[in-house]
Amino acid sequence: MQEITHALVGLTLTYILGLDFIVGFFSAILPDIDVLSNLSFFNTIFGTHRGFTHSLLPLLIITFFLCNFKNKRVGVSFFIGYSSHLILDSFTKMGIPLFFPLKTYYSFNLGTSSDPNLNYFFIFLSIFLLLNKKTIEKAITDLGPTKTRFVVYSIICLTFITLAFYGGIYYQETTIDNLLKNNEEVYVSIEGIVCSAPKYHTTKYVNTFEIFSICDEKNKSLIVWRFLNKNNNKVNLYDKVKIEGMFTKAYKWPEITYVKNVEIIENNRC
């Protein structure tokens, strides 16, 4: 989802609930610090875009600290703003790794992050809610605090339960040619030959990642980068590989960024 949509939804929700809307505004864009920041420090800590920052962990940890060391109002405002970001991103194809460090991404798969219909829907919904603040406030007061809390918790729980059932990544079998033509971001399963010598980078925070390209018969190429742990097989030039991961055109070159699995079909070390 676009930053403007996140910011507006965070601000609106906290404002109509009589909370701290400045905290709501900023907490709603905070998860995307992993993409706003170009510092390699952030990439190392948070992994690829939509890693750690898009999970329950920071939401619960920061809310806990704010409630205990600042005050409840700021804590709850933060919770509403930050969780609105996670919920909105879960509507997009790319999904969110809700239970990070588990790497399953949950998604309602309604469109891409930049899908204008999806963004406009939430922008207009926010404006509608802002214009009807008084009516909503009255409805909330009429419900009473216990019932209101019950409704809010039910919505949050239902969202997470639906995500858990609905979720998981759906990998679409496709070709490099089709990817380059048709998609902005999509989970794919794809075969190719490793056609550039893999480069390894180890950061001072211990993560090692590997970058290489795969090519198809027509020499169309695609960049792949993945974090390596001890159990990963490193690939070699000219290996035939099958890769499951998230394809995106969001960066300078079309890439597979979030990599779930690399299978070496034919080992060509000669």
Given the rule CB under 5 A, which residues bind Zn ion? 31-32, 89
Taking the least distance from each CB to Zn ion, the nearer of 52 and 171 is 52
The DSSP bridge partners found for residue 266 are 240
Taking the least distance from each CB to Zn ion, the nearer of 35 and 140 is 35
Taking the least distance from each CB to Zn ion, the nearer of 120 and 150 is 120
Q: How far apart are CA 37 and CA 33, in angstroms?
A: 6
Q: How far apart are CA 189 and CA 174, in angstroms?
A: 7
Are 256 and 210 contacting, i.e. CB atoms less than 8 angstroms apart?
no
Dihedral pair phi/psi, residue 136, rounded to 5°? -65, -45
CB of 200 to Zn ion, least distance (A): 28
**Long-range contacts, 135-139 (Cβ 8 Å, 24+):** 136/16, 137/16, 137/18
Taking the least distance from each CB to Zn ion, the nearer of 29 and 190 is 29
Task: Give the C-alpha distances (Å, rounded to integers) separating 207 from 70, 212, 257.
Answer: 34, 17, 15
CB of 228 to Zn ion, least distance (A): 25
CB of 107 to Zn ion, least distance (A): 12
CB of 7 to Zn ion, least distance (A): 12
Taking the least distance from each CB to Zn ion, the nearer of 20 and 89 is 89
Query: What is the pairing mode between strands 172-173 and 199-202?
Result: unpaired
16 CB contacts (<8 Å, ≥6 apart)? 129, 130, 133, 136, 137
CB of 16 to Zn ion, least distance (A): 22
CB of 46 to Zn ion, least distance (A): 11
Q: How far apart are CA 217 and CA 233, in angstroms?
A: 24
Instruction: Report helix, strand or coil for 171.
Output: coil
Taking the least distance from each CB to Zn ion, the nearer of 32 and 239 is 32
